């Protein structure tokens, strides 16, 4: 089991203070205050393994910030989909939940993860380059950094409208602007990053699952199944949280009554509460910060330090099941799904802290193979929804149901009467951040007009 383990991202203030105080007795004041190099980290200092590790830890910390911290990708993608509903009073959160987001110049809840994913994308890429320069690609950190970089492209492609620029900053400090990229181009960029990880570490499960996910988004289902075929069922890659570092965002925000587990949201949502499914344990939390909204807690994450799964062997099996669906092998698909259901206690116990205390003797009955394609699609995406609940997959799945399977948007996203009054809007994706208007290449190519938030397409 591999994971991001949050490294030391900041110096201890106490240790730093003690070091300075001790220094006054041992050296001249002018010597103490002399600055040898104003760069925080320069190329020569990266030869120091401890300094290089700080760069790596910082990049991985940026990924945690982007994927699973306060109102970042995991949270906002759950909100615009059918996993969470707004139980608070923030207008931007409610606008996202209602699928009626604000204009980019007014700001949206999705702006923070957009910026943070770009920051993580750049810092992971740079950290990998520095590891390669100093230790070579055989260093295990290189493959992990490239794989995590691949996930930033996946999330940008699954969450936002086509048109995302991939601007960057060179080591010299020069800013290099980039024009708009479609979701397809972002998924191809993800594949390239995962391939770089696999070239450095053949069989690296995190990269195999990420590449398989990108291939599924590209409609390459058979290739995706082949990619993930060697991943074991019990494999998990976790993002770790801590009280002193980055809290688990689901626990943190639900503890403050901001979000509630959704149940058949907007007619089309999955029954995450009423199904009483052992894969999504919930508990009654009373009422939300908005007392008019009942609060249901996701017991999958019941502490500030609860880990968040990013990739898993069960996802690999779901990718294989979808490939069987694509081949019209409904019996084969069902066999794979039942194989997972028969392991529910083991698989969920590996992902959820104190699972046995939350769900007593969990079992799932075997499914019966569907006889129609429509029923097979419903079964596959129902299973994906429950196995992958609150892991950042659901929004991409809703888009694929429309793009790859021809399902109507009004039969896929939450629709109809909204629980805080009024009706759901028509948004299907996140708008681009208004700051992209400072990118001349992006503006020349069409700018924010390229982004049609009502369109779930990837191209």
The CATH number for 157's domain is: 1.25.40.390
Q: Is residue 426 part of a domain?
A: no
CB 146 within 8 A of CB 62: no
Q: Is residue 27 part of a domain?
A: no
Q: pLDDT, tens digit, for every residue of 7-36?
A: 333 333 323 222 323 333 344 434 333 434
CB 240 within 8 A of CB 307: yes
In this predicted structure, what is the pLDDT of residue 13?
32
Least confident of 141-150, 168-177, 246-255, 257-266: 168-177
Residue 164 makes CB contacts below 8 A (sequence gap 6+) with 156, 157, 180, 181, 186, 432
281 pLDDT above the threshold of 90? yes
Q: pLDDT, tens digit, for every residue of 89-131?
A: 999 999 999 999 999 999 999 999 999 999 999 999 999 999 9
Residue with the bigger pLDDT between 47 and 412: it is 412
Q: Which domain holds residue 202?
A: 2-12+44-415
Q: Is residue 405 part of a domain?
A: yes
Residue 282 makes CB contacts below 8 A (sequence gap 6+) with 261, 272, 273, 296, 297, 298, 299
Mean pLDDT of the chain: 91
In this predicted structure, what is the pLDDT of residue 46?
62
Q: Is residue 140 part of a domain?
A: yes
Q: pLDDT, tens digit, for every residue of 381-395?
A: 999 999 999 999 999
Number of domains in the chain: 1
In this predicted structure, what is the pLDDT of residue 10?
32
Q: pLDDT, tens digit, for every residue of 131-180?
A: 999 999 999 999 999 999 999 999 999 999 999 999 988 777 788 889 99
261 pLDDT above the threshold of 60? yes
By residue count, the chain amounts to 459
Q: Is residue 39 part of a domain?
A: no
Q: Is residue 443 part of a domain?
A: no
**What integer is the mean pLDDT of 66-88?**
97
4: confidence class by pLDDT, cuts 50, 70, 90: low
3-state secondary structure labels for all residues of the chain: CEEECCCCCCCCHHHHHHHHHHHCCCCCHHHHHCCCCCCCCCCCHHHCHHHHHHHHHHHHHHHHHHHCCCCCHHHHHHHHCCCEEECCCCHHHHHHHCCCCCCHHHCCCCHHHHHHHHHHHHHHHHHHHHHHHHHCCCCHHHHHHHHHHHHHHHHHHHHECCCCCCCEECCCCCEECCCCCCHHHHHHHHHHHHHHHHHHCCCCHHHHHHHHHHHHHCCCHHHHHHHHCCCCCCCEEEECCCCCCCCCHHHHHHHCCCEEECCCHHHCCCCCCCCCCCCCCEEEEEECCCCCCEEEEECCCCCCCCCEEEEEHHHHHHHHHHHHHHCCCHHHHHHHHHHHHCCHHHHHHHHCCCHHHHCCCCCCCCCCCCCCHHHHHHHHHHHHHHHCCCCCCHHHHHHHHHHCCCCCHHHCCCCCECCCCCECCCCCCECCCHHHHHCHHHHHCCHHHHCCCCCCCCC
Q: Is residue 451 part of a domain?
A: no
The CA distances from residue 93 to 69, 96, 110, 228, in Å, are: 15, 5, 9, 36
**What integer is the mean pLDDT of 209-216?**
99
**What integer is the mean pLDDT of 67-85?**
97
426 pLDDT above the threshold of 60? yes
CB 319 within 8 A of CB 222: no
Predicted model pTM: 0.90
276: confidence class by pLDDT, cuts 50, 70, 90: very high
In this predicted structure, what is the pLDDT of residue 11?
30
In this predicted structure, what is the pLDDT of residue 42?
56
In this predicted structure, what is the pLDDT of residue 349?
98
Q: Is residue 76 part of a domain?
A: yes
**What integer is the mean pLDDT of 204-224?**
99
In this predicted structure, what is the pLDDT of residue 44?
52
**What integer is the mean pLDDT of 271-289?**
98
In this predicted structure, what is the pLDDT of residue 47?
66
Residue with the bigger pLDDT between 41 and 417: it is 417
Q: pLDDT, tens digit, for every residue of 338-393?
A: 999 999 999 999 999 999 999 999 999 999 999 999 999 999 999 999 999 999 99
In this predicted structure, what is the pLDDT of residue 7?
38
In this predicted structure, what is the pLDDT of residue 18?
29
In this predicted structure, what is the pLDDT of residue 17?
28
Sole residue written with tokens 């799945």: 397
């Amino acid at each position: 089991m591999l994971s991001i383990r949050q490294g030391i991202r900041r110096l201890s203030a106490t240790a730093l203070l003690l070091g300075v105080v001790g220094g006054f007795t041992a050296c001249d004041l002018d010597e103490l205050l002399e600055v040898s190099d104003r760069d925080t980290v320069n190329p020569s200092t990266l030869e120091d393994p401890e300094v290089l590790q700080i760069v790596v830890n910082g990049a991985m910390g940026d990924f945690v910030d982007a994927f699973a911290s306060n109102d970042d990708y995991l949270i906002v993608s759950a909100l615009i989909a059918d996993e969470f509903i707004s139980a608070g009073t923030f207008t931007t959160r409610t606008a996202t939940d209602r699928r009626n987001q604000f204009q980019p110049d007014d700001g949206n809840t999705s702006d923070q993860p957009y910026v943070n994913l770009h920051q993580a994308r750049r810092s992971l890429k740079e950290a990998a380059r520095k590891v390669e320069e100093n230790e070579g690609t055989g260093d295990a950190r290189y493959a992990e950094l490239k794989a995590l970089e691949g996930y930033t492209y996946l999330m940008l492609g699954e969450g936002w409208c086509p048109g995302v620029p991939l601007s960057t900053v060179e080591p010299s400090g020069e800013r290099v602007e980039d024009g708009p990229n479609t979701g397809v181009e972002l998924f191809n960029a993800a594949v390239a990053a995962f391939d770089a990880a696999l070239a450095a570490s053949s069989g690296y499960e995190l990269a195999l699952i990420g590449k398989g996910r990108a291939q599924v988004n590209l409609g390459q289902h058979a290739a995706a199944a082949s990619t993930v075929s060697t991943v074991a069922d019990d494999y998990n890659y976790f993002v770790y949280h801590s009280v002193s570092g980055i809290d688990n965002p689901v626990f943190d925000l639900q503890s403050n009554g901001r979000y509630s587990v959704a149940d058949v949201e907007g007619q089309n949502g999955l029954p995450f509460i009423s199904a009483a499914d052992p894969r999504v344990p919930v508990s009654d939390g009373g009422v939300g910060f908005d007392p008019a909204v009942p609060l249901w807690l996701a017991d999958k994450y019941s502490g500030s330090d609860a880990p968040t799964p990013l990739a898993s062997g069960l996802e690999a099996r779901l990718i294989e099941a979808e490939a069987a669906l694509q081949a019209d092998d409904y019996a084969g698909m069902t066999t794979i799904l039942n194989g997972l259901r028969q392991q529910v206690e083991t698989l969920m116990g590996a992902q959820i802290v104190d699972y046995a205390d939350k769900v007593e003797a969990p079992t799932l009955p075997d499914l019966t193979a569907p006889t129609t394609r429509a029923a097979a699609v419903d079964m596959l995406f129902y299973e994906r929804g429950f196995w992958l609940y609150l892991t950042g997959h659901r929004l991409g799945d809703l888009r694929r149901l429309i793009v790859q399977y021809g399902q109507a948007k009004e039969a896929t996203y939450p629709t109809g009467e909204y629980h805080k009054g009024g009706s759901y809007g028509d948004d299907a994706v996140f708008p681009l951040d208004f700051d992209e208007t400072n990118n001349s290449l992006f503006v020349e190519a069409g700018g924010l007009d390229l982004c049609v938030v009502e369109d779930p397409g990837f191209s």
